[in-house]
Amino acid sequence: MKSCLNKVLATLCLLAPGFPHLHSEESAPVQRVSKTRLSPEVHASISKGLEFLSKKQNSDGSWGQQNHPVADTSVALMAFMLQGHVPSRGKYGRNMDRAIAYLINVGKKGHQGYMGTPRNHGGMYEHGLAILALSEAWGQSTHPDLRATLKRAVDITIHAQNDQGGWRYNPEPRDADLSMTVMQTVALNSAKEAGISVPDATLDKAVKYVLYCQDKNSGGFGYSGPSGPGFARTCAGVMSLIMCGQRNHAAVKRGIRFMHAYPEQKFTGGSHFLYANYYAVQCMYQSGEEDFNSYYPYVSQSLLAKQRDNGSWSIQEGEVYSTGMAILILGVPYRFLPIYQR
């Protein structure tokens, strides 16, 4: 199988021909897309962040502390892949090998392949992030157990989807919320692109749930329905629709307008600053040059100003998670990760 990194993909399968019966309400005008390059300043910032992460890896191959090591490790691993580093080769190849081995070991120890940290309220977030990281590593890593681990984890996610089409904090089909549903949708799309079987019906149902969460008047997305739309949820909701082939859906257009209209504090902080901009920058990149150039320079300058002298960031959830997420936001134009390719 060809490496995912060698495929000309849209972000998280956003150009995939799936969901044929989910038609767009109207077509969005197509913006011209050009090849965006990183400034030397941003490139140096990312390199400095990766050097920091390389020195913070734990002896078992993980990153972070006891609270959410799977999430920290998954984010850190993707940060290295983002700049084009590959397992078993180059400066950070050994770091990446150890991280992949750690995640696979977690999958082996977890119940039926579940990868969330025990007693972690957000275990399904970790599970989804691990699927995403291992899917992105598929085709690069030679670890013999990667595919089997990935398949078991994907099966857990598929069977944890509830009747509405969404997911919640635990691997069981009960209630749902938008944030968790987007995470699992991202993960399943990436796994599908890596060759893991994911039923179209599972993703169809997820799209319908995401659409249900949009307030059509404002264009924003709510937590478990259309009420109370917020910026971070809207970024996530729009990106999940794009990645599922709904780029031209009217809901995406409404969501993009909501994101642009949101106050400029979105560039500088807030309780979900990293989470929101992780999705927002991808949305703008996929939407086209005009949208991307009206957004990325502001958030990138904000992140550059927040970087510490040792190369790390400490914004939310600890310095490892913050550093990895900051790199994933800044490095969208690299396009080395399949999720960042148009």
312 found inside a domain:
yes
Residue 339 domain-assigned? Answer: no
Residue 156 lies in a domain: yes
Domain assignment present for residue 253? The answer is yes
State the pLDDT confidence band at 29, using cuts at 50, 70 and 90.
very low
Tell me the pLDDT tens digit for each residue of 48-106.
Answer: 999 999 999 999 999 998 789 999 999 999 999 999 999 999 999 999 999 999 999 99
Mean of pLDDT over the chain: 88
Which of 253, 256, 250, 233 has the alpha carbon at shortest distance from 182? Answer: 233
Q: What is the amino acid identity at position 274?
A: L
Residue at 34 is within a domain:
yes
Find the domain containing 113 and state its range. 4-333
Does residue 315 have a pLDDT over 80? yes
According to DSSP, residue 310 is labeled: T
Q: Which residue, 179, 32, 138, 339, is CA-closest to 331? A: 339
CATH number at residue 159: 1.50.10.20
State the average pLDDT over residues 281-287: 94
* pLDDT reported for residue 310: 98
The residue-averaged pLDDT of 299-320 equals 96
Distance, in Å, from the CA atom of 209 to the CA atom of 161, rounded to the nearest integer, reads 11
Contact 71, 133 (CB under 8 A): no
pTM of the model: 0.88
In a domain, 341, yes or no: no
- Write down the pLDDT at residue 342: 55
Amino acid symbol at 267: F
At 194, list the tokens.
């890596």
Q: Does residue 340 fall inside a structural domain? A: no
**pLDDT attached to residue 120:** 77
Q: How many domains does the chain have?
A: 1
Are the C-beta atoms of 36 and 333 separated by less than 8 Å? yes
In a domain, residue 146? The reply is: yes
- Residue-wise pLDDT for 203-235, tens only, equals 999 999 999 999 999 999 999 999 999 999 999
